[in-house]
Structure 1
Amino acid sequence: MKMASINSYQLKSGETRYMFKLDHGINPSTGKSIKTIRRSFKTKKEAELAYLSLKLEAQNRTFQNKLVLVPEKRNKNNQDNYYTREQLLEFLSCCKKENNKMYYAFYRLLGFSGVRTNEAYALTWEDIDFENNTILINKSFSYGGKHANNLRAENWRIILIDSKTIDVLKEWREEQQQFLQISDFKAIQSKQIVFNNQKNGYLNVRHGQVWLDKILEKYDLKHITTHGYRVSHAQVLTEAGACSTGIQQRLGRSIHGVTTAKNIQSTEKIQMDTLQKLIEYMLHNKTISPDVRG
């Protein structure tokens, strides 16, 4: 995991200590850089953990302020409430610049899987199969709820995920584990919520839109809703030439009139074909950073 520059220095006694500087950005009132300096750490590891804790605390304050101060926006033109391939990749490129692994993992997952935001909120690490690159969707989180609700068995689905998205999730899991360690949370790893709040509980259901608005405003991108972001996945799959059955399987929509024995037997092949078309189509744009394309 990339850390801030941890520097060592010597005390008069000859002992080694460690320090770091955390840049919080520019104060809009003064135009000056805001920095926090911490020193006197006996080990480099201790300094790294302190840096991570301070960084996450600052990010959490930003999230909470946004939840209170930013009014929810809506795309008035519902017909245009989605991103094209180029717009989706540009958004993810901007999101990556925020240097927030949970931000990026959340939107990378939504953009490349088509899961609903309330399904993403409910995910635990045991739902993600890192060996087979799949995600099990079997629960969701509703507005005002405190616990995830299990979906009916017939609404469960398994989504194949590209290897780059899996890598992004692994990076976030590594940082999350360090946060849990320094925060002294006694979480069971397999049951751990993937996208957790500062108290290691479920996120507020408005977080998805708040995060989205923050990035769209900062980088002057086209405004869409979180639902429109999900529609974007269906849009790029359609543009990529994926079949309707494959798209419906990923999005979790019912397939009226086409659920035959032949279709059930070919489900795995359809899933593989759909994912392959998605990967090839998203990789076709050579103007976007390879780190985002995968």
Structure 2
Amino acid sequence: MASIISYTLKNGNKRYMYSMYGGLDPQTGKPKHVLKRGFKTKKEATLAASRKELAISQGDVQKVNNILFSQVYEQWYQEYVNTVRESTWARTAGMFNNHILPAFGNKRIRTITINQVQRAVNKWYKAVSYNYKRWYEYTVAIFDFALKHGYMHGDNPATKITMPKKKESWGSKPENFWDKQQLTTFFNCIDPNTELEKFTLFRVLAFAGVRRGECLALTWNDVNFSKSTLTVNKTLTQGKRGKQIIQPPKTHKGRREVSLDPTTMNYLKRWRAHQKREYLLLGFNTMNKGQLIFANSKNKFKSLNTPAKWLNKIIKDYNATHTDELKRITVHGFRHTSASMLFAAGATIKEVQTRLGHEDAQTTLNIYTHVTKHQDNQAAEKLANYFDN
């Protein structure tokens, strides 16, 4: 039975509170006491106490049964952020806010049906080509979390749906890398005298095989001019609310030392001297520790979109004035281009894996298989020559 107690605020107003026995704590075995203040009338306090007593007698079953999908997600997310990097949990939050919560957020999780999940996945499937699978996997995780915590019972409805599959399109998928001639054509479009930074950035991407974020995070401390090496130990990425942040490489093998050719080293030396003069006019001392190799006009990180903007404009301008079009690739395509040149030069899969910082050889093998497809004709010719001779 609850006790209703009156008390007086500092301003003289009268208020009521209830106090009651809340049963035994299931973990400690000690008695629990429930106290709630702030009721304006005794009747209001008595009614609230009665409702609480009923909830306690039912073990707060009703509260658990009414929990929303969005509330379960919030609990799951608090645990999730402690298991992944900031860039990952920030990206995941965007997926939930933009796609998953609009579909399920306002529904009591125990009432969501297989058909409702199926309809949501079908909608995602029609909207995008790939990410619908990731959104679905996160949806499954929320239902698993709810089952584990007793917010629902039975089976996970998300595991009962039929997963739609994208139909393979006819024709070959465009290759996201250049051969030696195409890369040469690209660099001929950039004047290293007037666009030295741009030329150097793409030279590092192509000949060091680093990722975009790794390249934009580089500082001069990462370059060893006496050994002609580049140390990769960090990456620029996006964190909460799209803010650019520095993170360590995703895997242990992502931390690596990459040897550089004399030409690339020469362009880095030229750019360092040019940057020193140019940024001094802007009021920055680039000899400070941690100076970025590729910085914006405020001596801060360049936008992650900058290399792509440069690349797309160069290709567009070239194709507008030439009949032999330069194939479009992405910035990440420079990494595949680097791999293709390494394979063509006779490097082993293990050597390429180490240089590119792949965690396992399968990733390198996938690139190797893709890159060497165009060599089939040469292989056939070699086989015929061997047989005929």
Map of 1:108 onto structure 2: 203
2:243 paired with 1:145: yes
Deviations 1:47-77 (A, max 9, x none): xxxxxxxxxxxxxxxxxxxxxxxxxxxxx96
Match of 2:328 among 223, 230, 249: 223
Letter in 2 for 1:200: N
Match of 2:342 among 237, 243, 253: 237
Letter in 2 for 1:246: E
Percent of residue pairs identical:
31
Ranges in structure 1 where 5+ consecutive residues have no aligned partner: 1-75, 258-294
Report the CA distance between 1:187 and its aligned residue.
4.6
Deviations 1:231-257 (A, max 9, x none): 111111112211001111111102359
Match of 2:280 among 172, 175, 181: 181
Q: Distance in 2 between matches of 1:138 and 1:188?
A: 20
Q: Distance in 2 between matches of 1:87 and 1:226?
A: 14
Deviations 1:166-192 (A, max 9, x none): 010111111111122111124553310
Q: Distance in 2 between matches of 1:81 and 1:155?
A: 22
Match of 2:268 among 160, 169, 193: 169
Report the CA distance between 1:118 and its aligned residue.
0.6
Q: Specify the SS of the correspondent of 2:258.
A: strand
How has the CA–CA distance of structure 1 residues 127 and 203 changed in structure 2, closer, same or farther, with 3 Å as cutoff? same
Report the CA distance between 1:132 and its aligned residue.
0.4
TM (norm. structure 2) is 0.44
Ranges in structure 2 where 5+ consecutive residues have no aligned partner: 1-170, 320-325, 363-389
Larger radius of gyration: 2
Q: Tell me if the contact between 2:253 and 2:359 (Cα under 8 Å) persists in the aligned partners.
A: no
Structure 1 residue runs of 4 or more that deviate by more than 6 Å after TM superposition:
none
Alignment of 1:28-177 (within 5 A): 78-96=173-191, 99-143=194-238, 144-151=242-249, 154-177=253-276
Letter in 2 for 1:88: L
Map of 1:211 onto structure 2: 310
How has the CA–CA distance of structure 1 residues 97 and 252 changed in structure 2, closer, same or farther, with 3 Å as cutoff? same
Q: Tell me if the contact between 2:349 and 2:361 (Cα under 8 Å) persists in the aligned partners.
A: no
Map of 1:248 onto structure 2: 353
Deviations 1:273-293 (A, max 9, x none): xxxxxxxxxxxxxxxxxxxxx
TM (norm. structure 1) is 0.58
Q: Specify the SS of the correspondent of 2:360.
A: coil
- Number of residue pairs the alignment of both structures matches: 182
How has the CA–CA distance of structure 1 residues 219 and 79 changed in structure 2, closer, same or farther, with 3 Å as cutoff? closer
Q: Distance in 1 between matches of 2:200 and 2:172?
A: 28
Report the CA distance between 1:230 and its aligned residue.
1.4
Q: Tell me if the contact between 1:114 and 1:234 (Cα under 8 Å) persists in the aligned partners.
A: yes
Q: Tell me if the contact between 1:125 and 1:189 (Cα under 8 Å) persists in the aligned partners.
A: no
Query: Comparing both chains, which one has the higher relative contact order based on Cα–Cα distances under 8 Å and sequence gaps of 6 or more?
Result: 1
How has the CA–CA distance of structure 1 residues 224 and 77 changed in structure 2, closer, same or farther, with 3 Å as cutoff? farther
Q: Distance in 1 between matches of 2:262 and 2:246?
A: 27
How has the CA–CA distance of structure 1 residues 97 and 174 changed in structure 2, closer, same or farther, with 3 Å as cutoff? closer
How has the CA–CA distance of structure 1 residues 189 and 77 changed in structure 2, closer, same or farther, with 3 Å as cutoff? farther
Report the CA distance between 1:79 and its aligned residue.
4.1
Q: CA RMSD in A?
A: 2.0
Q: Distance in 1 between matches of 2:173 and 2:265?
A: 31
